[in-house]
Amino acid sequence: MRVLGIETSCDETAASVVGPAGVLSDVVHSQAVHAEFGGVVPELAARAHVEKIGVVVRAALERAGGQRPDAVAATAGPGLIGAVLVGFSAAKALAAGWGVPFIAVNHLEGHLLSPLLDDPAPCFPFLSLVVSGGHTALYAAHELGRYELLGETVDDAAGEAFDKVARMLDLGYPGGPLVDRLAATGNPDEVAFPRPRPGRLDFSFSGLKTAVRAHLLSAQPASDADVCASFQAAVVDCLCRRVSEAAALTGLRRVALAGGVAANGLLRQRIHTLGLEAFVPPRSRCTDNGAMIAHAGRLHLLAGRSSDLDCGVRPAWQVGA
């Protein structure tokens, strides 16, 4: 069974065809228009999606051999509603035109299940750290469709903190890869940034971001490389500490990374040092992509679940709800 997956929840217009043998095509158009704004502008994102959706879908179909898919899946939320609506509306029309099932997919579940596309893939149950520019959450993934939220950010997402620090340092956008690169040349112990520890297994990055700001406004701030390295170390410490605590609490010994911040070099190293079996996706599958949506949709369809063509988007959809 081949499934076309479409993802437009933020600033990537993405489409992919996934079949029994894996990913047959994976086309992503990353929007450059947001760079001068220092962050994603929702209206510009939606405009760029509608300009590219046809081209991206056509390319994904052609690269997969041009066959008609057996189903179409699309992100229905969470995300920027104007952006989600583009891919979602196109996907339903594609499914109706082909006369095949449509599956509305939760964007976070797409990320959460994306490690299952890899070899080796984690078996259920496993811990999943989904960490990106819009989300930071830790789940116990018990089985397909049954996910327990163990902790989430109470303020900024980790990726958002990376972007804001990059903006303070005038590094450019998106900030994650730029901070990561500069941090590689800096001393992570130079600045003692805080490691916030809110309740449960939650995360908090707002105070850390404020601490970076205060440091840059101090009389003798460290070099940009040292600031990046120290900030990144603090973020990764917070993420990994929660993973360790979650493993102790649940007894789960497997952890999978997902989301754009999973491309961070330090996090990818540190996750292997926690005494758990760690599954780290290739960098290309960390950021938003159509393959994860096609894959999640395919798994749900194989489990007998599809969506009606009169369904709507769900901008604040919780995983497992």
Partner 1 sequence: MAELVVAFDTCGPVIGVAAASETAVATRSERIRRGAEGRLIPWAQEVCAELGGGLDDVVGVVAARGPGAFTGLRVGLSAAIGLAIALDVPVWGGDSLTTRRSTAPDGRVLIMLDARKQRVYACAFDGDQMVVPPADVAPEIAVAWMKAPFTATGEGAVVYRQVVEAQGGTVVEEADAPATEALARAGWSAIRAGDGRRPESLEPLYLRPADAKPSRRGRLTRETKRRS
**Pairwise CA distance, residues 171 & 169, whole Å:** 5
Q: Applying CB under 8 A, does 121 fall inside the site for partner 1?
A: no
**Which residue reads 């901008």 in tokens?**
315
Task: Report in angstroms how near the CB of residue 94 gets to partner 1 at its nearest.
Answer: 4
Compare residues 115 and 133 and give the one whose CB is closer to partner 1. 133
Q: Are strands 3-7 and 71-77 parallel, antiparallel or unpaired?
A: parallel
Task: Report in angstroms how near the CB of residue 264 gets to partner 1 at its nearest.
Answer: 22
C-alpha angle 253-280-313 in degrees, rounded to nearest 5: 100
Q: Applying CB under 8 A, does 58 fall inside the site for partner 1?
A: yes
Q: Applying CB under 8 A, does 46 fall inside the site for partner 1?
A: yes
Q: Applying CB under 8 A, does 90 fall inside the site for partner 1?
A: yes
* Structural tokens at position 247: 């493993």
Q: Applying CB under 8 A, does 81 fall inside the site for partner 1?
A: yes
Q: Applying CB under 8 A, does 50 fall inside the site for partner 1?
A: yes
- Maximum distance among all Cα pairs of the chain, rounded to whole angstroms: 66
Q: Are strands 71-77 and 136-143 parallel, antiparallel or unpaired?
A: unpaired
Task: Report in angstroms how near the CB of residue 248 gets to partner 1 at its nearest.
Answer: 39
- Please choose, from the candidates 126, 128, 125, 121, the residue with its C-alpha nearest in 3D space to the C-alpha of residue 257: 128
Compare residues 220 and 304 and give the one whose CB is closer to partner 1. 220
Beta-bridge partners for 137: 130, 152
- Please choose, from the candidates 297, 256, 302, 300, the residue with its C-alpha nearest in 3D space to the C-alpha of residue 276: 256
* Structural tokens at position 151: 């902790």
Choosing from 123, 217, 316, 321, the residue that interacts with partner 1 (CB under 8 A) is 217
Q: Applying CB under 8 A, does 145 fall inside the site for partner 1?
A: no
Terminus-to-terminus CA distance in the chain, angstroms? 26
78 preceded by a cis bond (ω within 30 of 0):
yes
Q: Applying CB under 8 A, does 222 fall inside the site for partner 1?
A: no
Task: Report in angstroms how near the CB of residue 212 gets to partner 1 at its nearest.
Answer: 9
Q: Applying CB under 8 A, does 63 fall inside the site for partner 1?
A: no
Task: Report in angstroms how near the CB of residue 40 gets to partner 1 at its nearest.
Answer: 10
Report whether 165 contacts 231 (CB < 8 A): yes
Binders of partner 1 among 293-312, rule CB under 8 A?
A: 309-312
Report whether 233 contacts 266 (CB < 8 A): yes
* Contacts with partner 1, 157-196, as mask; x by CB under 8 A: ----------xxxx--------------------------
* Contacts with partner 1, 16-35, as mask; x by CB under 8 A: --------------------
Choosing from 146, 181, 197, 213, the residue that interacts with partner 1 (CB under 8 A) is 213
- Please choose, from the candidates 161, 160, 61, 150, the residue with its C-alpha nearest in 3D space to the C-alpha of residue 112: 150
Q: Which residues bind partner 1 (CB under 8 A)?
A: 36-39, 41, 43-44, 46-47, 49-51, 53-55, 57-58, 61, 81-82, 85-99, 167-170, 213, 216-219, 221, 224, 309-313
